Structure 1
Amino acid sequence: MQSRAISMETASAPPRAGVIRLAGAMLLGLAVAMGPVARAEARGAPESFADLAQQISPSVVNITTSAVVETSTENMPQLPDGSPFKDFFDQFQSPNGEPRRSEALGSGFVISEDGYIVTNNHVIEGADQIEIEFFSGDRLPAKLVGTDPKTDIALLKVESDKPLPFVNFGDSDLMRVGDWVVAMGNPLGQGFSVSAGIVSARNRALAGTYDDYLQTDAAINKGNSGGPLFNMDGQVIGVNTAILSPNGGSIGIGFSMASNVVNKVVDQLREFGETRRGWLGVRIQDVTPDVAEAMGLAKGSKGALVTDVPDGPAKDGGILAGDVIFSFAGNEIKDVRDLTRRVADAPVGEAVKVMVLREGKSETLSVTLGRREEAEKVESAAAKKEGTAPAKQELLGLTLSPVTEELSAEMNLPEGTEGLVVTKVDGTSEAFTKGLREGDLITEAGQQKVSRIQDLQDRISEAKDAGRKSILLLIRRDGDPRFVALSVE
């Protein structure tokens, strides 16, 4: 499975897959003079990883899943008996297209002596049978406790008549680029296998809202999914999840979900069988330099700019569209990703202090967080307004028209919608470069509502009179809002 050139190494490696020979060799280490600023705990290349491998091996497991899948003879080649390809294609279909049982492999690790096991969600997704193989050779059936597709984490449980060897989570935030790490798992169905490398990068994001990956050059292949990434103390600091690869095999760019994310998810799955993330109830975007200038913010300002506040905790707590959130629960907010993760980690139902910048002044608000999972089940409803409609006019490279009954029906807008509809965008304009397109709806300019073309003209004049080089527009497309700053010079 591939996404944006990221080949997700799934648990679909067939049992005992053939050996894949990889070109190139791993550079094990370089002695670097760190100078007087080097941290005392910095470590050189170990002479061997054998002691560590012996310590951690008993807690790492192979996972075999099976599920009944529908098969079809449609579009499958019809080959005569005796054909050298017939046996190959028979592996993928059942006689008469009947359902068949399919197996897949993955990895995991034990986190408690009473049998809780962590793996990837995609390892066990859709499975109706899960079997755990331990380093000792023992096999036990496992039950699914809970999953979190957003971080691709799953928690399993086995029942054992004896305490199981287990490992603890370490602090992934303490890992530095260049630190040694060891990965262990079941690559390509070859069984328990150890690879070593370094942390190549931190805080990588692939496609998920809560992504916080450690990147490593330790070899990770199909079947390693769900396996642990260890620090040199034998603590789990990541869960091996994905690789960047043009061919499906390791090229030294692997991604492990950071343990400080996984640990919180696992605690919730263990206690509730599901995740319970905090929910603030705002739509936000990063404070870019042009947005900061348009809002009159100091150069280099950071935070999360609120673009919309539907009904929910933020609205109840007094947060407004146009506020810049720069502190949450006492922590500085750098950007959208930072705020999203801090809110998710905050306790549901508790009041937190949120500091915002509003019209050049800071305000401290108290917001009682809701639960994201519940909010996601409810569609955000926003029906407002109705408009009037004079003629079209060109401004800022845009051909604009107030909302009319005809446009409202044509664009399927909620009844009562007000604003300026973009009916055409000059392809050579800054507006086009910044993503505005025909059908977009401008609802605010300079953080004030607009329903007439004159309203926008007035806001542009005000921006110029104040010496600003750009104006901030609130754009809605298919109901989703975002701010865009356009030059008024």
Structure 2
Amino acid sequence: MKRINRIVVFLSLAMGCLLLAGRVYAYNLPDFTDLVEDAAPAVVNISTVKNSSGNHPPIAGMDQENLPEIFRHFFGRRGTPQEQPQQSLGSGFIISDDGYILTNNHVVEGADKIIVRLSDRREMEAAVIGLDKRTDLALLKIDGSSLPVVELGDSASLKAGEWVLAIGSPFGFDHSVTAGIISAVNRSLPNENYVPFIQTDVAINPGNSGGPLFNLDGEVVGINSQIYTRSGGFMGLSFAIPIDVAMNVADQLKEKGRVARGWLGVVIQEVNRDLAESFGLRKPMGALVVQVASDGPAGKGGIQEGDIILEFEGQEIHRSGELPPLVGQVRPGDKAQVLVLRSGSRKMLNIEIEELPDQRGARRTQQEQPADRIGLKVAELTSEQKQRWNVEQGVVIVAIEAGSAARSGLREGDVITMVGSRQINSVDDYRKAIGLLKKDQSVPVRVVRQGEPAFVPLKIE
């Protein structure tokens, strides 16, 4: 009997220790109440109104509903494409007491009216100071003074495992709070070359886009932007734009209304195990240069096809996706040190970084010219566009007017690679192919839209 009593006492003590340990562990979990109380007043709800849906007809044969799992920008939408007007919901936060607000570009893009609702329920119309599609950021301005503002943190020092908290308006529920941890940093996402994303497991849903991601010190370290999903809902993979990147963009938008990025002028690919072995590397690392723009900074500075970029400005390149954000942060005109592996030897090069080319110059030239017989204005592809959309040739649509092309479902930004059986390698090829088409003729046109190829039936009217 005594032995049984001793066993009972031992088990009781053991259970007590486990319960005590559990309580200690629970007590060590973060308490977010003070953080939320201090930070929430600077978080805003953003609603937009579009007087027209702006929807384009889908490309024939491209089933958008059956695409595989994708990274999705996430913000709420009220109404259907047929309803007028169309409203969307998102989040944002105030970064200066005179009314500057950061949010996502996809929350406000194309809006005819932007309404910002503050935590005290006041509503104000916001003006767009600048938009940047490449980082999916927008800088807005409302009239005000002595407004509550967020504190900004240092996203460069973030580590996996840290606690973070999001405040936003999922499904329109203002100032909803969700928490989790940082899953990884410096994540590269498809078609998002200039943002080293913060990956978290914080619950993000429609309406959270553009809202702040806080650390335990109550500082904003990121802007919630995308999720990875199979179902369309939250699945534990959320992605935020680092605040360091966001503020660099915001400062440029505020100063000159646009963002100037560094450009190296190379097409790169990942170095896998087999490639690493063939190049004499002990492990896969770096960015393999597969193409160099002859008139670009890399070509002028001595980078060659077949080089593996191991370091950029002293930072090791472990994966190829780490290189574009580093290059993009360099001010055009500055020189950068690039360490490459060439024929088994390491070589340090000094490259003068240039500004990333865009279509503004080409667009202006095209806008001054009349549209062609099907209502299109096209331009040559830049090397950056070729890399982004994984195309080798074609022309990009820079403007579209009423006509055969618009009725066929072609859009601005589509890349035309074939007209009928003719390959399109340049604007001259395109013009010749269009000029040979006859009235009432119907031809297949191969286009690439955001990396997805498809054929569009084009009827000349």
* TM-score in terms of structure 1 length: 0.61
Give the Å deviation of 1:362. 2.4
Q: Which residue of 1 aligns with 2:287?
A: 304
- Asked whether the 8 Å contact 1:281–1:312 carries over to 2, the reply is yes
Q: Which residue of 2 aligns with 1:379?
A: 381
Instruction: Determine helix, strand or coil for the equivalent of 2:156.
Output: helix
Query: Structure 2 regions of 5+ residues with no counterpart?
Result: 1-20, 58-78, 363-379, 387-420, 427-452, 454-461
Say yes or no: does 1:164 pair with 2:166.
Answer: no
CA gap of 1:44–1:141, structure 2 versus 1, over 3 A, is same
- Asked whether the 8 Å contact 1:169–1:263 carries over to 2, the reply is no
Matches within 5 A, 1:224-373: 224-295=208-279, 297-300=280-283, 302-310=285-293, 311-373=295-357
Tell which structure's C-alpha radius of gyration is larger: 1
Q: Which residue of 1 aligns with 2:46?
A: 63
Amino acid of the structure 2 residue aligned with 1:233: D
What is the alpha-carbon distance in structure 2 between the residues aligned to residue 261 and residue 156 of structure 1?
A: 17
Instruction: Determine helix, strand or coil for the equivalent of 1:126.
Output: coil
What is the alpha-carbon distance in structure 2 between the residues aligned to residue 71 and residue 277 of structure 1?
A: 29
Residue-by-residue CA offset, 1:1-40 (whole Å, 9 max, x unaligned) = xxxxxxxxxxxxxxxxxxxxxxxxxxxx98899xxxxxxx
- Asked whether the 8 Å contact 2:277–2:283 carries over to 1, the reply is no
Q: Which residue of 2 aligns with 1:206?
A: 189
Give the Å deviation of 1:359. 2.1
Residue-by-residue CA offset, 1:292-327 (whole Å, 9 max, x unaligned) = 3333x2322532221121221111112111222222
Identity score, percent = 42
- Asked whether the 8 Å contact 1:222–1:248 carries over to 2, the reply is no
What is the alpha-carbon distance in structure 2 between the residues aligned to residue 274 and residue 132 of structure 1?
A: 23
What is the alpha-carbon distance in structure 1 between the residues aligned to residue 135 and residue 23 of structure 2?
A: 36
Among candidates 102, 117, 121, match of residue 118 of structure 1: 102
- Asked whether the 8 Å contact 1:71–1:100 carries over to 2, the reply is no
Amino acid of the structure 2 residue aligned with 1:379: L
The structure with the largest strand share of the pair is 2
Give the Å deviation of 1:245. 4.1
Residue-by-residue CA offset, 1:55-98 (whole Å, 9 max, x unaligned) = 001100011110112599x9xxxxxxxxxxxxxxxx7587xxxx
Among candidates 155, 161, 164, match of residue 181 of structure 1: 164
CA gap of 1:146–1:31, structure 2 versus 1, over 3 A, is farther
Q: Which residue of 2 aligns with 1:109?
A: 93
CA gap of 1:108–1:291, structure 2 versus 1, over 3 A, is same
CA gap of 1:329–1:130, structure 2 versus 1, over 3 A, is same
Instruction: Determine helix, strand or coil for the equivalent of 1:57.
Output: helix
What is the alpha-carbon distance in structure 2 between the residues aligned to residue 156 and residue 348 of structure 1?
A: 26
CA gap of 1:174–1:352, structure 2 versus 1, over 3 A, is closer
Give the Å deviation of 1:269. 1.8
- Asked whether the 8 Å contact 2:165–2:214 carries over to 1, the reply is yes
The structure with the largest helix share of the pair is 2
What is the alpha-carbon distance in structure 2 between the residues aligned to residue 92 and residue 306 of structure 1?
A: 45
Give the Å deviation of 1:180. 1.8
Residue-by-residue CA offset, 1:336-361 (whole Å, 9 max, x unaligned) = 21221111111111122222222222
Matches within 5 A, 1:456-471: none
Instruction: Determine helix, strand or coil for the equivalent of 2:160.
Output: coil
- Asked whether the 8 Å contact 2:271–2:288 carries over to 1, the reply is yes
What is the alpha-carbon distance in structure 1 between the residues aligned to residue 96 and residue 246 of structure 2?
A: 15
CA gap of 1:353–1:234, structure 2 versus 1, over 3 A, is same
Q: Which residue of 2 aligns with 1:50?
A: 33
Instruction: Determine helix, strand or coil for the equivalent of 2:189.
Output: coil
Q: Compare 185-194 and 236-245 and name the one that shifted more.
A: 236-245
Amino acid of the structure 1 residue aligned with 2:157: L
Give the Å deviation of 1:241. 1.5
Q: Compare 141-150 and 328-337 and name the one that shifted more.
A: 328-337
Instruction: Determine helix, strand or coil for the equivalent of 2:36.
Output: helix
Instruction: Determine helix, strand or coil for the equivalent of 2:41.
Output: helix
Amino acid of the structure 2 residue aligned with 1:56: A
Query: Structure 1 regions of 5+ residues with no counterpart?
Result: 1-28, 34-42, 75-90, 383-408, 415-477, 479-489
Give the Å deviation of 1:246. 4.6
Q: Which residue of 2 aligns with 1:215?
A: 199
Instruction: Determine helix, strand or coil for the equivalent of 1:219.
Output: coil
CA gap of 1:372–1:218, structure 2 versus 1, over 3 A, is same
What is the alpha-carbon distance in structure 1 between the residues aligned to residue 128 and residue 347 of structure 2?
A: 45
Residue-by-residue CA offset, 1:176-210 (whole Å, 9 max, x unaligned) = 33322211111111222222222233333332113
What is the alpha-carbon distance in structure 2 between the residues aligned to residue 277 and residue 245 of structure 1?
A: 30
What is the alpha-carbon distance in structure 2 between the residues aligned to residue 183 and residue 291 of structure 1?
A: 41
* TM-score in terms of structure 2 length: 0.64
Instruction: Determine helix, strand or coil for the equivalent of 1:285.
Output: strand
CA gap of 1:93–1:148, structure 2 versus 1, over 3 A, is closer
Residue-by-residue CA offset, 1:360-393 (whole Å, 9 max, x unaligned) = 22222221111114489663599xxxxxxxxxxx
Matches within 5 A, 1:398-409: none
Instruction: Determine helix, strand or coil for the equivalent of 1:220.
Output: coil
CA gap of 1:293–1:178, structure 2 versus 1, over 3 A, is closer
What is the alpha-carbon distance in structure 1 between the residues aligned to residue 134 and residue 54 of structure 2?
A: 29
CA gap of 1:105–1:411, structure 2 versus 1, over 3 A, is closer
Q: Which residue of 1 aligns with 2:415?
A: none
Residue-by-residue CA offset, 1:274-304 (whole Å, 9 max, x unaligned) = 2211001111122223223333x23225322
Q: Compare 333-342 and 251-260 and name the one that shifted more.
A: 251-260
Give the Å deviation of 1:131. 1.0
Amino acid of the structure 1 residue aligned with 2:381: E
What is the alpha-carbon distance in structure 1 between the residues aligned to residue 232 and residue 284 of structure 2?
A: 41
Give the Å deviation of 1:413. 7.5
